[in-house]
Amino acid sequence: MEMALSRGLRCCQRVFSWIPVLIITAVVLWSYYAYVFELCLFTISNTLEKAVYLLVFHVCFGMFSWTYWKSIFTPPATPCKKFQLSYSDKQRYEMEERPDAQKQILVEIAKKLPIFTRTQSGAIRFCDRCQVLKPDRSHHCSVCETCVLKMDHHCPWVNNCVGFSNYKFFLLFLAYSMLYCVFITATVLQYFLKFWVGDLPNGPAKFHILFLMFVALMFFVSLMFLFSYHCWLVAKNRSTLEAFSAPVFASGPDRNGFSLGLHKNLLQVFGEDRKLWFIPVFTSQGNGHYFPLRSQSSESHNPLLANEDMWDESDDGSEGSLVEDADPSVTIEMDD
């Protein structure tokens, strides 16, 4: 009975979680109708003006829709098998009754992994729900019920976790949403004023155009603050979670522990090919499991672009040590 009730509640939660996305979709579809039909086709008489407006509008609308789709339907990246307890390690861990011995088992596993962040008490972070040692910058999302690489936040407006796999898409979604609102506001303004002072006759178009102006301005102001905040986060190489709670290293908390300078911070999110910066295709550097530290930024090589062989997820159990200088003396602490 309890299991059936739990499944029912979970199913209802999944259904209701799509309501914010449906609201945004409905508003955007209405704005499409109001702009294309009520403004361009029924109100604007100049053919050239109408054609230019429709062309630019559909470019903005297309990029907005593309980035929103990618933000929603790109699955959150999760830790690879090297961070999971193997079958033998899990058996050994569960059969061991002494807490100190259990911690030592996890310490041995952690020696092979590039883990530099700690809990507030100085222990390596372990998720007992996912049974994984948490990679740096990853966190467990209670909504998605999984650990997410470089988790920024869970966004109800995209019904998805924003993290390593889709953070670039989310930033572009905010940028193209702003552009969409700015273009609508700039082109609707003169007709908004004409309807407002009575130079154009009353009709269905009047309501749509007046309301379209207010909605575009309202969304633009909200998006401007949110986009500016995330631009600041990118410049500092922080996630939203790290901005509120500084990551803890062996030397203590450091909000700028992952910051490598503005240029390198931008490259981590957008990649080195600038032609692809404004297109919603994945170009972020690395694999989300390891990020160079500020203290390592002077090294000549880029650890994010290291040999992919060391991340081979084969099940043959032949896992080499990923980081030689991992601290073997550090303790392990359970952390949801």
- In this prediction, residue 296 has a pLDDT band, given cuts at 50, 70 and 90, of low
Q: How many domains does the chain have?
A: 2
Q: Does some domain include residue 207?
A: yes
- Same-domain status, 270 and 289: yes
Residue 223's Cβ-side half-sphere holds a number of Cα atoms within 13 Å equal to: 20
Q: Does some domain include residue 306?
A: no
| Per-residue pLDDT tens digits for 117-159 | 888 877 778 898 988 999 999 999 999 999 999 999 999 999 9
- Same-domain status, 94 and 201: no
- Same-domain status, 220 and 273: yes
- Same-domain status, 71 and 8: yes
| Per-residue pLDDT tens digits for 158-198 | 999 999 999 999 999 999 999 999 999 999 999 999 888 88
DSSP conformation class of 84? B
| Per-residue pLDDT tens digits for 221-243 | 999 999 999 999 999 999 999 99
Q: Does some domain include residue 240?
A: yes
- In this prediction, residue 22 has a pLDDT band, given cuts at 50, 70 and 90, of very high
Q: Does some domain include residue 29?
A: yes
What share of the chain has pLDDT > 90, as a percent? 62
pTM here?
Answer: 0.86
Q: Does some domain include residue 6?
A: yes
CA dihedral 53→59→62→64, nearest 10 degrees, is: -90
- Same-domain status, 175 and 258: yes
Residue 16 token pair:
């209701």
- Same-domain status, 283 and 235: yes
**Which backbone phi and psi does 332 adopt, to 5 degrees?**
-110, 140
Residue 1: what pLDDT?
63
**Which backbone phi and psi does 307 adopt, to 5 degrees?**
-55, 125
- In this prediction, residue 319 has a pLDDT band, given cuts at 50, 70 and 90, of very low
Q: Does some domain include residue 218?
A: yes
Residue 24 to residue 68: CA distance in whole angstroms: 10
Domain of residue 128 covers: 81-134
- Same-domain status, 100 and 119: yes
Ranges of H-type helices in the chain: 2-16, 19-33, 47-73, 87-95, 99-110, 167-197, 204-236, 240-244, 262-270
- Same-domain status, 162 and 252: yes
DSSP β-ladder status, 248-249 and 160-162: unpaired
Catalytic residue annotation: 155
- Same-domain status, 197 and 265: yes
Length of the chain: 336
Q: Does some domain include residue 283?
A: yes
Cα dihedral sign, 312-318-320-321: positive
Residue 3: what pLDDT?
64
For residue 305, pLDDT over 60 is answered with no
Round the average pLDDT of the chain to a whole number and report it: 85
- Same-domain status, 120 and 139: no
Among the listed residues 231, 244, 308, the one whose alpha carbon sits nearest the alpha carbon of residue 270 = 231
Q: Does some domain include residue 320?
A: no
110 versus 322: which is more confidently predicted?
110
Residue 111: what pLDDT?
81
- Same-domain status, 206 and 178: yes
- Same-domain status, 91 and 216: no
Give yes or no for a contact between 157 and 21, defined as CB atoms under 8 angstroms apart.
Answer: yes
- Among the listed ranges 102-106, 225-229, 278-282, which one has the minimum average pLDDT value? 102-106
Residue for token digits 């092979």?
112
